A and B are shown apart, each in its own frame.
Chain A
Amino acid sequence: MTADQVKEALVRAVPGLEVELRPRKVGVRAPVEVPELWATIGRDGLLPAVSALKGAGPLHISIISGRDLGETIELLYHFAVGYGTPGGEVMVTLRVPVPASDPTVPSICSLLPGAETTEREKIEFLGVQFSGIPRTDHVFLPDDFPGHPWRKGDPETAKLVKRTVEWEKRDG
């Protein structure tokens, strides 16, 4: 499936969605354009969009990345559509802003079970909640770690950093 077809499928699922095509020139002797699609989407549109991507070809989630912007937490879902198509995989990034006061997003695990690890990682690091996720326990941080290290000015992370710096000073 071409990037244009993936774009059409996304717009059909979420009417009015603006999808940006960011092609990348790749190669030396006979350069080709590798397409990348980027779109900002509300959390209500996430499940219909992922469902459309799944319909567009074998779907793979590379990772969910994200950052704390203060009043908003931004999640970026990086998908590969057409998983396993020689030269024809399309990278799609869906940017989902959620308010920091209510950081809840629908889980996509029912559509793509492989997303569970990365969703759980966002729970511990960004303090985002995923409604409908099968499991919510920590993946990387200790079970009892109370903070969220990617939140700006997280007091628990600041304490941890302070302890580590003091420990390193002792060594010096």
Chain B
Amino acid sequence: MADGQKVYEIPIGPIHPALKEPIRFTFQVEGERIRGVEVRPGFAHRGIEFMGLKRNLIQVLYLSERICGICSISHPIAITLAVERAAGIEVPPRAQYLRVIFSELERIHSHLLWAGVAAHELGFDTLLHLTWKVREEVLDVLEELSGNRIDYSIPIYGGVRRDIAPAQVPKVEAMVRHYRGLLEELLDAFLRDPSVAARTRGVGVLTPEEAEALCAVGPTARASGLSKDVRQDRPYLVYGELGVRAITPRDWGLEPRGDVYDKAVVRLLEIGQSLDLIEKCLDEMPEGEITSFPKIPALLAHLKKAEGEGLGWHEAPRGEVIHYIRLEAGVEEPVAWKVKAPTYSNLMSWVPMFRDQEVADIPIIAASIDPCMCCMDRVHVVRDGSGATLLMEELLKLSRAKTERVLRGLSPAGGGA
């Protein structure tokens, strides 16, 4: 048909089924083929850097943790490294190992989360349920070690807030053994499955030249064959000594093609790498102090006197995160704070990845860079078997009421007041 040449514009988002965070894509499509895309983020912008400039550094640390629930170790690691650099604070050796252990635990749960999302986008929900079921194991360990499933509050300027007690070590080791046994099954389910390969091979390709020019980071760059990993290239904490090597599809015996399949290869193999790193850290970690400032008032006083600037970087599950901070003596707040999350760098990679692809592949290509999920502004609560959607204000009231009940020594669940 003559109309076959016509290019239509299809807006998708900000709220859409492709991924669970708001973003707007405007696709130019010709029939079933995508000819171009405009990406518009910013719908979850909360002005966190602006807020940080009005708060003292300890408050900024907790704020940084709330940039993203899934990366709630990555941002604190980057900001503590930046502040420690600016204020000349040393980190005890044991704390450096502990930070690595927590960030590798985070990588495992994040990559498993992505694997589930990817399976779901492919219409393979059995695999989604399997990966998210097995993900609980690492979340349980994180809860055991930190008290929380996300937002662990582990790094603090000068060290970490909690140690891993000797009684907890066997639980971490058991988790490592559990995932070692499971990994082969997961690799088999994803990488040796003909239907997964049919949906992901040659889909959403990012060439190494494009990845380099567009400054792609993390698994998105490594899947294109760039041997690039901040842990390997720009050592920090004890990563240099642990001998981290960037994983590319070559480690699975394949020449990198930069498609969605290769992104799955990299992320799944990195789970194995994280298990090795955790085991090595538990083995090599020396005894000793976990922070150089056990008292918060002393830490705050030191930070208030500090003058300087610093950069802190970390390889988050999605790639390079970097924080820049500038401190001035006599001022409690940072005078400059800039945060760069990995998705920020990978944003532009979507444009070549979508080019000439099919409309039906939009969800999996969008999900393939593992865009960072943001906090939702409301939740769905089920009480007594009945569902109800609560707005933030209502939730806040319920939470305050619960705190009051706890303070009066009553049951947190309510009913007896």
Contact = CB atoms under 8 A, between A and B. Distances in A.
A63 B47 contact: no
Contact of A27 (B213, B240, B396): B240
Contacts of B233: 80, 82-89
Contact of B340 (A63, A138, A149): A63
A65 B326 CA distance: 11
Contacts of B293: none
The winner among A36, A66, A139, A141 for most chain B CB atoms within 10 A is A139
Given A28-B241, A83-B233, A78 B335 contact: no
**6 closest Cβ pairs, A-B complex:** A114-B215, A65-B338, A84-B228, A63-B340, A140-B42, A89-B233
Contacts of B340: 62-63, 118
Interface of A: 24, 26-30, 32, 34, 36, 58, 60-63, 65-67, 76, 78, 80, 82-89, 91, 93, 112-118, 138-142, 149-150, 157, 171
Contact of A91 (B47, B214, B284, B311): B311
A78 B348 CA distance: 18
B93 A114 contact: no
A63 B228 contact: no
B313 interface: yes
Contacts of B336: 65-67
A96 to B, nearest CB: 14
A34 B45 contact: no
Contacts of A24: 85
Given A83-B233, A114-B214, A171-B393, 16 more contacts: A27-B235, A28-B93, A28-B238, A28-B241, A30-B241, A36-B311, A60-B217, A63-B324, A65-B336, A66-B336, A82-B233, A86-B232, A89-B234, A91-B234, A93-B311, A118-B340
B226 interface: yes
Interface string B219-245: 000000011100011111110110001
Given A24-B85, A117-B347, A32 B226 contact: no
A36 B241 CA distance: 19
A76 B246 CA distance: 28
B252 interface: no
Given A28-B96, A84-B246, A87-B232, A117 B47 contact: no
20 contacts: A24-B85, A27-B235, A28-B238, A29-B284, A32-B235, A34-B235, A63-B324, A63-B344, A65-B336, A66-B338, A78-B311, A80-B233, A83-B228, A86-B246, A87-B240, A88-B233, A89-B233, A93-B311, A114-B213, A171-B396
Given A84-B246, A115-B215, A140 B240 contact: no
A80 B234 contact: yes
Interface string B75-114: 0000000000100000001001100000000000000000
B292 interface: no
B404 interface: no
A63 B322 contact: yes
B320 interface: yes
A87 to B, nearest CB: 6
B50 interface: yes
Nearest to A137: B40
Nearest to B221: A84
A27 B240 CA distance: 7
Among A63, A76, A142: residue with most chain B CB under 10 A:
A63
Contact of A61 (B45, B215, B245): B215
Contacts of A157: 50
B143 interface: no
A136 B238 CA distance: 41
B227 A116 contact: no
B144 interface: no
Which of A30, A86, A93 gathers most chain B CB within 10 Å? Answer: A86
Among A28, A36, A78, A138, residue most surrounded by chain B Cβ atoms (within 10 Å): A28
B181 to A, nearest CB: 31
A65 B324 contact: yes
A114 B215 CA distance: 5
B235 A26 contact: yes
B212 interface: yes
Nearest to B44: A140
Contacts of A34: 234-236
B307 to A, nearest CB: 15
B28 interface: no
Contacts of B240: 26-27, 32, 87
Contacts of A138: 42
Most buried by B among A67, A114, A149: A114
A84 B215 contact: no
Nearest to A65: B338
Given A78-B324, A117-B347, A26 B50 contact: no
Contacts of B320: 62
Contacts of B41: 139-140
A4 B344 CA distance: 30
Nearest to B226: A84
B345 interface: yes
A113 B214 contact: yes
Interface string B303-347: 000000001010000001010101000000001101010001101
A58 B338 contact: no
Contacts of A62: 313, 320, 322, 340, 345
A58 to B, nearest CB: 6
